[in-house]
Structure 1
Amino acid sequence: MFRSLAMAAALCAAAPAVAQVPPFPATFKAQDIKTNGTTIHVRVGGHGPAVLLLHGYGETGDMWAPLAAALDDDHTVIVPDLRGMGLSAHPAGGFDKMNQGRDMQGVLAALGVQKFDMVTHDIGNMVGFALATQLPDRVGRFVLIDAPLPGVGPWEEILKNPLLWHFRFGGPDMERLVAGRERIYLDRFWNEFSANPTRFDERSRQHYAALYARPGGMHSGFAQFAAFDQDATDNRAWLATGVRLNMPVLALGGEKSFGLTMAVVMRAAATNVTEGVVPDSGHWIMEENPAGTVALVKPFLESGR
């Protein structure tokens, strides 16, 4: 609607080639998996026990390249783009996180994966949490990084933070406002949620802005947030059963962002929570301090062996 078909086709074709974010190891292969009424773009590489990496808003699975490179010598690393984001399809609906958990179930089934660990960030936390409640006996270890879970722990207090106005920003008029101005909208996230905005570099900003400017990209992004009320209802219903996650959980917050609040959130939903802080970082942990993030995540995953 907002771009010529030629430009849209060029973006779709060029997106993987112009990925000037840190690259995945050359051994990683990309594939599209049809599941749950949509198509999920997935990168897979390495060998050994499986680990699923789920990204958040303002990025795609590309954010995980440094961690994937650190894990692929002894893990099979699976990196999807979430429903409606990156190079995955842009369906009309289905953005509640329980449904997206079913997306991930389909991805794992297509890859023949039974047991797996998870590392998640931002919206990926919410999808990963849904998946963990659906398949609790199949998740070995779970790392959640720097974002709340709808309806869990201090959710209502977190919603009062004025920085989170975008949780309620969406709909056709908002889509019209940001059409052709995707970079301006996304810069707000990258700047305000960083400890040091210069670490979210220009080439990464250009890369992600081009992906979110693809037809349906911003609509899907807004839909992720619009589903939070349903996500909160679903999570509260699960909590009301008295069941809790029993796998080892590492709850990490950026030093200049969620910090130890991530552990407060997870202790409301899990019985075995280790807290941690990514030093010298805001929300964008893989851009601001990838080495510090890897240094916390990798030993935690390996301690389960």
Structure 2
Amino acid sequence: MGEIVYQGSFAAAGRALNLSPPSVSRIVSDLESNLGVRLFNRSTRRLALTEEGQVFLQRGEAILDEIDALREMMRARHRVLSGRITLSSSVAFGNELLPPAIAAFLGKHPGVQVQLGISNRTVDLIQEHVDIAFRIGVGGLPDSTLQAIKVLDYRLIFVAAPGYVSAHGCPTDLEELKGRPIVKLFTGSWGHVHTLQTPDGPVEYRVPEGFSVDAFRAQLGAVLAGHGLSLMHDYIAEPEISAGRLIQVLPGFQTEPQSVFAVYAHRHLMATRIRVFLDFIREWFKGRNTPTRGAAVPDESL
């Protein structure tokens, strides 16, 4: 309407809008029919707004100005990140590796708030309004509304405290583990049997009973106390190995790499803060990925 008033005729407005005069006339007629009022008084010589047309044009232009302001505000929110990101993570990964990464991200983007829920339960991203869930394996993503990117790989490795190695010696194969004290980490059905890659090929290793725990912190505490050696997630063990509090034993015997994925709901227009966070997390963990020789197997322990 504004262009018609500015140009003074349907024909001139059509040329400005790259529309034919009949098309402009039809659009106005349809709008008048929909509103139930006449917007223009028109004759072969003269075109003028009715009183209703003046009100409609004034209010319409004000609404369009508000839409433009809202659009600019949304663009500004994308330039300066703000809003909340809701995360879900399995226990060990969420406790050990995510907090430093989240803290570094918030240091760069202080306008963002992050809410992290830690649980071994598989959350429903859509129903529970979770933006990103960190999972071990993705099971082929049967839900077509979900997508995933790999964050990092990890393995289970054998470790022991220096005092344990001094007292019991360092084993050189699985046979030498028989009769030794072992700290076993398990969660439900996971953790009782592991497939190990060995110099002679893959073998099934049944972890002996003895001291069994269902929390990685209890496992780490028992191993640090010298109670026994253990199969431990490498990212839990690595800081202790670097500090000299643990030693990796049987380095030729470890599990295949498992993969941690960031799973998120597929959206045509993803909020910029979520996209930037995904890129940041992928880059943060990029340096500690190890090459994967086979498909990731879901690991329920995290």
Q: Compare the two structures and name the one with the higher strand fraction.
A: 2
Q: Please tell me whether Structure 1 or Structure 2 has the larger radius of gyration of its CA atoms.
A: 2
Q: TM-score with structure 2 length normalisation?
A: 0.29
Q: Which has the higher contact order (CA 8 A, sep 6+)?
A: 2
Q: Compare the two structures and name the one with the higher helix fraction.
A: 1
Q: TM-score with structure 1 length normalisation?
A: 0.29
